[in-house]
Structure 1
Amino acid sequence: MPKLEEWEIKKYWQIFSGLKPVNNKLSGDKVSVVFKNSRLDQTQLEKVWDLSDIDVDGQLDFEEFCIAMRLIFDLVNGNTSELPKSLPDWLIPGSKQHLVQANRAVAGNSTGFDSDTDEELMLSSDFDWYISPSDKSRYEDIYASSADRFGRITFQSLSELYKTLNGVPETDISFAWNLVNPKQSETIDKDQCLVFLHILSQRSSGKRVPKSVPPSLRATFNRETPSYDVNDYQAEERKKPSSTKQAFGESYLSKITGSSKIPNNKTDFSATDGTDWEEVKLRRELKELEELIQKAEDAKNNKGLDDKLSLAKYEFENLLKYKEQQVAELGTGSDLQSIRANIEVVQSQVSQLESFLEQKRTELGGLQREIEALR
């Protein structure tokens, strides 16, 4: 069957992004809506989930979602009558090939880590975690020649190196990758890569791959993935090792110097890189920035309004206190007595004025009579 086409991946991306993934992953509840729309029976849908959830984390990332959609569409369109027992190689993304190999090895009881094969018995258990300066320099050369511009390494990017490790089975390589990649991310950073290469170097020299890493390294490997800042790392220029001694990775470094990019026949899930995926991510970041700016402007405007309201509140509170004080003063007994005394004084003065007025009227009447008599 053909591998996934670019238009097909873009169509699945539209469905995937429409379900609003969290941390680029969809939960079973969100995926179930799409699954049930296919009208396949529950047994088939459960099988689709088991085949798609390669890292068995109970969620589907975009690559795993593409796998699920292709399996469902093949059944719905009649391209196949039943689901495969295991994923075909053309449908396995390169970034998860090591997980599939490890799962198959475990399922087939052929990991070789606990078996008493002749090869296993010949391996030494004195694994040394110490990385000498010369080994570190060689590991850094391999890292620099294989890292992307963000300083990240994929499992598939070292595929040519694996071919130079004579006598090291793929299951050991996958197990070593999982040791330094406990979060089962698609990529690892420089520190993880150096330890990964050291494990492979020790294994190629006859040391048994350890079943766990020291606590200090475990804490380092479990830290959060750094942000993809294009100015944070740029791949260094490839160097040729100065030593003439054939050591771990030297044949690999010699081979890739000046070589073209390694071809990959697997399904390429990077068709949306720099287009749909990046555009959606940038649009989301732009929207978040606009929301932050809007919140800041609203907070600034509300601050001015709050200042005016606070001033008005202060003035009204002072006015209320003044009125309450006036009422309190009017309500006291001493003030009432004073007012009554004032009223009595005024009344007395009014009576005196009325008597004075009557007296003057009498005098005026006498004068008027005298004038009349003289006429």
Structure 2
Amino acid sequence: MKRIGRMAVGLGAAVAVVGAGGVAAFGLGGTDPAPPPAGGRPPSSAKVTETTLTSTEKVAGTLGYGSPNPLLSTGQATVTWLPAAGDVITRGKTVYSVDDQSVPAFHGSIPLYRTVQSGIDGNDVKLVEENLQALGYKGFTVDNEFTSATAKAVRRWQKDLGKPETGSIKTTDVVVVPGEIRVAELIAKVGAPANGQVLTYTGTTRTVTVKLDVAKQHLVSQGIPATVTLPDGKAVAGTVASVGSVATAQPAQQGTSATSTIDVLVTFADQAAAGRLDSAPVDVILVAQKRENVLAVPVGALVALAEGGYGVQVLDGSASKYVAVETGMFANGQVEVKGPGINAGTVVGVPT
């Protein structure tokens, strides 16, 4: 039998690999371990504890509102008003103005691709009706058909906005966005034609984007908890909302080689807890693995058995015996163990 000290390289590698990935597959350390050597009392001891083991990884992230999206216009009119960067625009509010006419925001997943008017049907009709209803207009059925009742509601909406009461909506009359938006950057200029990109926008909630090395992608999955440390040192709870599936090459920095990364998005349940900064570098601690109510001993208590696998030296007064164990998760100097007679409170030797 040989002690763990003689296999420091092997165990150290195991701890490094498992510590990064979280949980190792359980391996039985032998069913009939050899007897302990004479005078094999260890220099110290520890009790088996029932605990929660957590494997974490600290990575760098960026606090912000997410990646900006372009907002396009296909019209030829002249831009007469633009919002300011940082403005939040809700449904029905003006995104920009052309020829002194406001272009409000509708919410939806498809742009208007034709004039929405009486006699047509389709998903674009339903989008218009859903938005009119959300803005408080009534008297029509929300479906795919543009009826005279729909036209009447459109005219009421146009009257309230000071627009010509045509009862129809052209593609340039509104801007369809996914939801509330925050203006990131103005592209167009007042006085220029409204043809092309007008501005960029993001969502209205702050998130953290992590450029995670693809070699570490096994550490994350949607829904795992994360802790974000803000520049002022405050720790804020978060959750991994999405894990990218497309890798992006990152150029080499001074002293480092080029890498490939995926985007990991972390969201906050409490936006107020994230402070007031719009953008900032932050540290993110990802909880890669977590095992609750497991039996654990210090890693130094493991003994490499001659017949293979690992064991622990169980101490009972002046007597001791070696018991083969299955090893599980390694974290923070502790290792999960299972074995006959191994219970919370069992005293084991710590030879290293």
Which TM-score band (shorter chain)? under 0.3
Highest RCO, 1 vs 2 (Cα 8 Å, sep ≥ 6): 2
* Higher normalized strand content (fraction of residues): 2
TM-score (norm 1): 0.18
* Higher normalized helix content (fraction of residues): 1
TM-score (norm 2): 0.19
